[in-house]
Amino acid sequence: MKLVTAIIKPFKLDDVREALSNIGVQGITATEVKGFGRQKGHTELYRGAEYVVDFLPKVKLEVAIKEELLDQVIETITNAARTGKIGDGKIFVTSLEQVVRIRTGETGAEAI
Amino acid sequence: MRELQLDRGMRRLVAGLLFLCTLGFAGGTLAEEAAAPGAQAVAVAVEAVAAAAPTPQKGDTAWMIVATVLVIMMSVPGVALFYGGLVRSKNMLSVLMQVFSIFALITVLWAVYGYSLAFTQGNAFFGGFDRVLLSGIFDPVTGSVANAATFSKGVYIPEFIFVAFQATFAAITVALIVGAFAERMKYSAVLLFATLWFTFAYVPMAHMVWFWPGPDAFTDAEAAAAAVASSGWLFQKGALDFAGGTVVHINAGVAGLVGAYVIGRRVGYGREAFTPHSLTMTMIGASLLWVGWFGFNAGSALEAGGTAALAFINTLNATAAAALTWTFAEWLVKGKPSMLGAASGAVAGLVAITPACGWVGVPAGLIIGALAGVVCFWGVTGLKRLLGADDALDVFGVHGVGGILGALLTGVFNTWSMGGTGIIDYVNNTIVDTDMATQVGIQAQAVLTAIVWSGVVALVAYKLVDWTIGLRVPEEEEREGLDTTAHGERAYTM
């Protein structure tokens, strides 16, 4: 089992969710986050005061999947979230040791 | 430690005494005044026999009631939201609460002694005590309400509505100062300072600029001279301030700037981002100010007539012009036209046209507005850096600078050759021209008087408050935010 964590542009959330549903992913957790990478921040000006805003709003997706789906999921997210401009985000993949469905007590791949 | 507590106790006591003394200053001669009403009643009765008291026209009265309500809306919620949106969310309620409380406090003080000291005859700087607790306005025997003079002979409005209209001016002026020391001043200090500054700066300034016996006193040259001699100090000099450039805006702007210096910068100033938490609220506040300002400016005509209409159109035009010029100046200099800039520009235009609105023509109104947008933009950028004070919400940059600009330009554009109205000669019942250079000189005197008077009173008042109860909250509370530490609540719990 793998945990795929993707940081994407907020307005791409619906596209990515739809694309992942289409390939059979059944659950996604989305969180509003802030961060910076190569895109860096921007400058905001309030009357005389100028502030550099380093952290930009992004959406973090967490998707738990069976290992065999990994390549397809990565490809799907990449295609759906890509604009080609700087700041499209990143995908991190980690191994998932255990999953438990709380309602039934099922564990492992069954619980995904 | 014990000594410290004793010391604190002492200071609290002195603070309380200060408050009481301020009230006592007003109420001091109340006892001796108590004997007067009987005599007054006789005098009034004799007068009533001589000539039946004229009845105010319903149109004028209705307009002044509406205008007064509009000015109330400028303070709460107008100024409160305009300022509230500009602070960080942790201080939102403290700003709303300070504006709200000041409005309530000054309204009460106005009824108790403020109105009497500002708008009855006394010396050139303070009025008298005839109207303490608004006494003598309502006659319970006949059920009649006294009349207040307007700017036309034989035209009156009920004095109560004049009292209320002027109360809203006093309240909003003190509330404006909140912007300068926002996010760091103790709530108790705000109330004590408001009481002191209102009593010793607002009240005399209003008396100096606006108190006169009314047009009916100007029957002939001799009577006119006597009437002028009994007026306020700046009125005697011929200073023109239609709706409060000196009394309201310069007065508040200077008090704000002095406050910003005395109380010091906010923790993290220049290092942390003090991003406004809701420019939506600020835009709503600025818009409420714009709408309410028609009551403020056109209402200052005290009648529903041509002068009110002139003040109205100038208030509309100048504000629009200022919103545009600030926007374009910012766009040009800083790269982007911001919503905050447009809202600030509108307020700057409103401020600058305030002293001029009933004294200048339409082109002048547009020019005053256009200049205000650019000059006040400099006020909150270049000048602010120069001054180095953390005037948090730019009370001086907008109200001080805009007020000075408007007061001086009133002198420039009042003359006929500049399309202005000139002034009324109440003895010959004609309109006469003013000389530009002379009038600008007089306006400059009024501006200087406002700056020095307000500055000195504010400095003393802040120092007194600092010494007694302390001006500033502890650093920890400032970091935590005043909403929870001072008021025990949060603006947003989403």
Q: Which of A48, A51, A53 sits opposite B381 (nearest CB)?
A: A48
Q: For position B400, what pLDDT does the model report?
A: 98
Residue B483 vs residue B6, higher pLDDT: B483
Q: Is B271 on the interface with A (CB under 8 A)?
A: no
Our measurement of the distance from residue A14's CA atom to the centroid of its chain's CA atoms, rounded to an integer in Å, reads: 11
Strands (E), B325-440: 423-425, 430-432
Q: Which of A34, A10, A18, A26 is nearest to A83 (CA)?
A: A10
- The 8-class DSSP code of residue B211 comes to -
- Asked if the Cβ–Cβ distance from A48 to B385 is below 8 Å, we say yes
A25-43: buried (b, 16+ CB within 10 Å) or exposed (e) per residue?
Answer: beebebeeeeeeeeeeeee
Instruction: For residue B31, name the pLDDT band (cuts at 50, 70, 90).
Output: very low
Question: What is the interface pTM, i.e. ipTM, of the complex?
Answer: 0.77
- Asked if the Cβ–Cβ distance from B384 to A48 is below 8 Å, we say yes
Cβ–Cβ under 8 Å, residues B471 and B185: yes
- Asked if the Cβ–Cβ distance from A46 to B276 is below 8 Å, we say yes
Q: For position B34, what pLDDT does the model report?
A: 41
Q: What is the mean pLDDT of residues B352-374?
A: 98
Q: For position B25, what pLDDT does the model report?
A: 58
Task: Provide the edge-to-edge strand list for the sheet that holds A2-8.
Answer: A29-35, A56-65, A2-8, A89-95
Q: For position B44, what pLDDT does the model report?
A: 45
Q: For position B37, what pLDDT does the model report?
A: 43
Q: Which residue of A has its CA nearest to B391?
A: A48
Q: In this predicted model, what pLDDT tens digit does every residue of A64-93 receive, in sequence order?
A: 999 999 999 999 999 999 999 999 999 999
**Interhelix angle B251-263/B436-468, nearest 10 degrees:** 40
Q: Which residues pair with A45 in a beta bridge?
A: A50
- Asked if the Cβ–Cβ distance from B275 to A48 is below 8 Å, we say no
Q: For position B32, what pLDDT does the model report?
A: 41
Cβ–Cβ under 8 Å, residues B442 and B193: no
CA distance B466 to chain A (A): 29
- Asked if the Cβ–Cβ distance from A46 to B384 is below 8 Å, we say no
Q: Which of A45, A49, A53 sits opposite B274 (nearest CB)?
A: A49
Q: In this predicted model, what pLDDT tens digit does every residue of B283-306 receive, in sequence order?
A: 999 999 999 999 999 999 999 999
Q: For position B208, what pLDDT does the model report?
A: 97
% of chain B residues with pLDDT over 90:
88
- Asked if the Cβ–Cβ distance from B341 to A47 is below 8 Å, we say yes
ω before B77 within 30° of 0 (cis)? Answer: yes
- Strand, helix or coil at B127? coil
Which chain A residues are within 8 Å of B341, Cβ to Cβ? Answer: 47
Q: Is A55 on the interface with B (CB under 8 A)?
A: no
